[in-house]
A and B are shown apart, each in its own frame.
Chain A
Amino acid sequence: MADPLVSQPVQAEEVPSMWSGMLAVMKRDLLIAFRQRSDMVNPLFFFIMVIALFPLGIGPEPSTLQKIGPGVIWIAALLSTLLSVDSLFRQDFDDGSLELALLSPQPLFVLAFGKVIAHWLVTAIPLILVAPILSIMLFMDGDTVKVTLYSLLLGTPVLSMISAIGAALTVGLRKGGVLVAVIALPLYIPVLIFGTSAVEAASMTLPYAGQLAYLAAFLIMALTFAPFAIGAALRISVTSQ
């Protein structure tokens, strides 16, 4: 056998940059998502179906649908985030990737942050893109459609970050799903309030910039603090096996 039996390690960087670790995670997760496309489209189908159920349950009157439209879209977005987030860390936990990430010289919260961003790109972007179509089906008009788009763009990353905390806390448990909902739903409320209200304001041709500013503030807060909470939660889940 001619194979060399000697380990010839490659050179690691003296101080690996945090961004490279995060980008590596993002790239890997995007690649995996692209190969397992069903994970990507299922939350989208769920989102569309939930919204389609409302006219069927409440009745097709344009005035009613127009009134509840913003709330319906936001609650559907919130539920679909919740549904998809359960798988965010579970595969990595089950196959040991999380252990490797924990033992990596890169800080865990940075890697986790990369995962959440990838997850948001894969699950929330399609949903944001179809939201205008759905809002037209709920008889919302011009400006409202635009604001729906903006508010989702600012609000869904916050939802992803919050639910990632829940997912990280429950990843070691067999019965994760409903528990994540119980943990995360109350924390969604501010986003729900300001997201819906922005769209409502637009539908009444009132100024909506204030609500969007609040959503942006929440986003900045979530981006600043949530990665640490996610990292701490993952560490607890992995080390307490």
Chain B
Amino acid sequence: MFESLKRLYHKFGSPKYFYDITGRMLPWLVALSVLLLIPGLIYGLGFAPPEKYQGNSYRVIYIHVPAASIAMSGYMLMAVAGVVVLVWRMKMAEMVAKSVAPIGASFAFICLVTGSIWGKPTWGTWWVWDARLTSMLILLFLYLGVMALNAAIENAQSAARATAVLSIVGAVNLPIIKYSVEWWNTLHQPASIRMTSSAIDPEMLYTLLSCIAGFYCLFAVLVILSTRCEILLREQRSSWVKKLVGV
């Protein structure tokens, strides 16, 4: 069991293997995300029953909640890849971590935008310093820090190692930040309407789950595409890439 895991790990460590296997996985992932997302979003935004208190404005959760979840797990993925980079010096992990950062940041941004769209009819303003939104804003800042550091260092390998340290530090801090912000929020705004406060209708729940799964597939597709791009760039001198692009 352990041996085969180790072998799998070494296989995934090879850029060529990663490129080949993800090339075969991609069509399935794309199909899966289309199958989950399109019905989920159409039903969620158009046909799912309106919420008891918020009416139709709640429908934005079908984008907001998946985006929030992905932004969070994207950062964790980056930190895990960072550990692999620092401990095992795996090149593939460097490329994955680099690709995740801008995609995760985009999902954090989407989450903030949808949050403020939901906030307008609910609170009457585009922005409220609500605990979740504020945490997400800070998560976006953390992503931006990682991206800025990565962009500032020219050598790809040292950039990857430096960002690995930063994303691990960020990941350790993330729960503390989240907790602090929640604590701060209860201190300053005791009563605020929460997005998922009322008991959720099963119809809504299944739609939401379908959207979450679909967005995760989409996230995987984007990360894989971006990582494959990075592989070609980094391995441009190797014979298999030369053969692939027909030089």
Residues of chain A at the chain B interface (Cβ within 8 Å)? 165, 169-170, 172-173, 175, 179, 182-187, 189-190, 193-194, 197, 218, 221, 225, 229, 232-233, 236-237, 239-240
Nearest B-chain residue to A230, judged by Cβ: B165
Structural contact, A183 and B149, CB atoms closer than 8 A: yes
Structural contact, B162 and A197, CB atoms closer than 8 A: no
Q: Chain B's interface: helix, strand, loop or mixed, by majority? A: helix
A189-B181, A190-B180 are contacts. A179–B158 as well, Cβ < 8 Å? no
Q: How large is the interface on B (under 10, 10 to 19, 20 to 34, 35 or more residues)?
A: 20 to 34
A236 to B184, CA, bound (A): 36
A169-B149, A189-B138, A197-B184 are contacts. A240–B165 as well, Cβ < 8 Å? no
Nearest B-chain residue to A197, judged by Cβ: B187
Structural contact, B180 and A183, CB atoms closer than 8 A: no
Structural contact, A236 and B142, CB atoms closer than 8 A: no
A170 CB contact (under 8 Å) in B141, B152, B157, B176: B152
Q: How far is the CB of A207 from chain B (nearest CB, A)?
A: 13
Nearest A-chain residue to B147, judged by Cβ: A182
Contacts of A179 in B (CB 8 A): 148-149, 152
Q: Chain A's interface: helix, strand, loop or mixed, by majority? A: helix
Chain B residues 140-182 with CB under 8 Å of chain A are 141-142, 144-145, 148-149, 152-153, 155, 157-158, 161-162, 165-166, 168-170, 172-173, 176-177, 179-181
A240-B155, A240-B157 are contacts. A190–B165 as well, Cβ < 8 Å? no
A169 CB contact (under 8 Å) in B155, B165, B179: B165
20 contacts between A and B (CB under 8 A): A165-B165, A165-B166, A169-B149, A173-B152, A173-B153, A182-B144, A183-B166, A187-B169, A187-B177, A190-B173, A190-B179, A193-B181, A193-B184, A197-B184, A229-B168, A229-B169, A236-B158, A236-B165, A240-B153, A240-B157
Contacts of B153 in A (CB 8 A): 172-173, 240
Structural contact, A232 and B165, CB atoms closer than 8 A: yes
Structural contact, A233 and B165, CB atoms closer than 8 A: yes
Structural contact, A182 and B148, CB atoms closer than 8 A: yes
Structural contact, A193 and B170, CB atoms closer than 8 A: no
Contacts of A184 in B (CB 8 A): 145
Q: How far is the CB of A178 from chain B (nearest CB, A)?
A: 9
Q: How far is the CB of B176 from chain A (nearest CB, A)?
A: 5
Structural contact, B166 and A169, CB atoms closer than 8 A: yes
The 4 closest A-B pairs by CB, nearest first: A240-B158, A190-B180, A186-B141, A183-B145
Apart from A179-B152, A182-B145, A189-B138, list 15 A-B contacts with CB within 8 A: A179-B148, A182-B144, A184-B145, A186-B142, A186-B177, A187-B170, A193-B180, A193-B181, A194-B180, A197-B187, A232-B86, A236-B158, A236-B161, A237-B162, A240-B161
Residues of chain B at the chain A interface (Cβ within 8 Å)? 86, 138, 141-142, 144-145, 148-149, 152-153, 155, 157-158, 161-162, 165-166, 168-170, 172-173, 176-177, 179-181, 183-184, 187
Q: How far is the CB of B58 from chain A (nearest CB, A)?
A: 29
Structural contact, B149 and A190, CB atoms closer than 8 A: no
Contacts of B180 in A (CB 8 A): 189-190, 193-194
Contacts of A187 in B (CB 8 A): 142, 169-170, 173, 177
Nearest A-chain residue to B144, judged by Cβ: A182
Nearest B-chain residue to A169, judged by Cβ: B162
Contacts of A190 in B (CB 8 A): 173, 176-177, 179-180
A179 to B145, CA, bound (A): 8
Contacts of B148 in A (CB 8 A): 179, 182-183
Nearest B-chain residue to A200, judged by Cβ: B187
Contacts of B170 in A (CB 8 A): 186-187
Q: How far is the CB of B88 from chain A (nearest CB, A)?
A: 15
Nearest B-chain residue to A186, judged by Cβ: B141
Q: How far is the CB of A86 from chain B (nearest CB, A)?
A: 14
Contacts of B157 in A (CB 8 A): 240
Contacts of A172 in B (CB 8 A): 153, 158
